[in-house]
Structure 1
């Protein structure tokens, strides 16, 4: 048997040459890459021109891809916004409802503070002068007469004829007294007549009740009517019952002999009142029986 031929064929040499050539090219590529890297690090602006040209060449191809990506992102964001809108709207509605509740509570607290401040001011203004500060129980609503009721009587020093006022102004005067309650003749009663004057001028008049919550202001000196809408009338002190300067009514309509006025202290909105002593006792003859007779006539 003949020994095998150990000589390499031409095909094997061609493969060796190809492999050697590949190594050489790879080495040259590595050297070239290292050289370019060194140049780019040493002078970065060297390859700005080729980079710009390459970017210009690939820009038309990348523009549609960028537009598609941008539109897809916009669509996804829109879908996500619609997905979140329901829960966000529900949360906002809940927050608004809670805010309205808190706002109503704050308004209620503010109103209550204002009421308490008025009561405190009433008590402080009348310290040492008021007979008592008590609750205004209620008033007649359907009767032709206008009476009010307070939770204080002779046991608290209340006597017939004494003025009754609220934090806003005059309410009326005591007509009848019991041990722990009293009946008050309101300013709006048809039998009520109160001397008043114009707050801004020394113009005197009488405030007569009409039975409907309004007062008729009749000037004593007739002539040119100086009263204007919105004018405030206060007690004049004449007669000795009421101290001067207490608010009574505000003019709402001008008449030939005075005005029609709205009471400053509405009994329906009054919760506490102060019973005041007579302004000038020597000018007033207080007797419960004559007062009752005058009212019932």
Structure 2
């Protein structure tokens, strides 16, 4: 018996079901995206609470995936071990070139210790809040955030600075019970008061949103910047503790220079959460009308 003429070539009910499900998933995703967009536009507090809740649910999963990703880097570590001879030679050459700088730095440190002893000055080191793991970061988005697997239950609060062993990472923006959202220094909304390490020139470091930073002088117009200039936090504004490395200028410029941050959130395992350098004064308690009389 010949097949019916109305049967199309390549007919497959499974393919039809798959195409139908793909349309359904796309439609549901579109509806959810529009709903979230409207919620963030007309009710930001509710959207923030929803975002914190999602972070609480996804942080344990992200912590597990982060551990697997770091375990997968073992073969590259073996390769680096066998190819370490060239790196050792390069490090020895760099050490010879910077020997004079190290000797000059030691001399300056000795002089600083002597002057501090004369002035009876003591540095007050703030006690860190907690060392926590950065489990996720937005490397491709126009906004740059990271997720910390510690929250309000561990003493983390909005405004506290987050730093790694190499330098400043960012500051805490939102907190949940066991997770926190960190605004990275490379985000376009990040602004950090800094000073140049070699002469104390005050400047402002702001994020560009593309993984780099911009340094602008806060003291004079057309201030010269040289490639290699190092900028550290100044403590101005009371948010970030002073003397945390922030950025290094990549090329000579005037007034505004391109720079690269010392800390890379994508390669960090643990970060240190520090208390606010100068917490705001407590709000004044209103005096009752009867007590004023």
Shorter-chain TM-score range: 0.5 to 0.7
> Structure 2 CA distance, aligned partners of 1:103 and 1:151?
30
Counterpart contact for 2:225–2:253, Cα < 8 Å:
no
> Could you tell me which residue of structure 2 aligns to residue 255 of structure 1?
253
Counterpart contact for 1:131–1:157, Cα < 8 Å:
yes
> Could you tell me which residue of structure 2 aligns to residue 264 of structure 1?
262
SS of 2:239's equivalent?
Answer: coil
In our comparison, the structure showing a higher alpha carbon Rg is 1
> Structure 1 CA distance, aligned partners of 2:80 and 2:207?
40
Q: Deviations over 1:2-47 (max 9, x none)?
A: xxxxxxxxxxxxxxxxxxxxxxxxxxxxxxxxxxxxxxxxxxxxxx
The structure with the largest helix share of the pair is 1
> Could you tell me which residue of structure 1 aligns to residue 164 of structure 2?
166
> Structure 2 CA distance, aligned partners of 1:284 and 1:148?
30
2:81 counterpart (104, 111, 128): 104
1:195 counterpart (193, 216, 221): 193
> Could you tell me which residue of structure 1 aligns to residue 148 of structure 2?
150
Change (3 A) 1:163 1:282: same
TM-score (norm 1): 0.53
TM-score (norm 2): 0.53
Report the Cα offset of residue 271 of structure 1. Answer: 1.1
RMSD: 2.6
Counterpart contact for 1:207–1:218, Cα < 8 Å:
yes
Report the Cα offset of residue 106 of structure 1. Answer: 9.3
> Could you tell me which residue of structure 1 aligns to residue 23 of structure 2?
none
Counterpart contact for 1:241–1:284, Cα < 8 Å:
no
Q: Deviations over 1:28-77 (max 9, x none)?
A: xxxxxxxxxxxxxxxxxxxxxxxxxxxxxxxxxxxxxxxxxxxxxxxxxx
Report the Cα offset of residue 254 of structure 1. Answer: 3.1
Counterpart contact for 2:189–2:207, Cα < 8 Å:
yes
Provide structure 1 residue ranges, at least 5 long, that are not aligned to the other structure: 1-100, 111-125, 286-297
Aligned residue pairs: how many?
168
Q: Deviations over 1:242-294 (max 9, x none)?
A: 11100000000233313110010011111110000000113699xxxxxxxxx
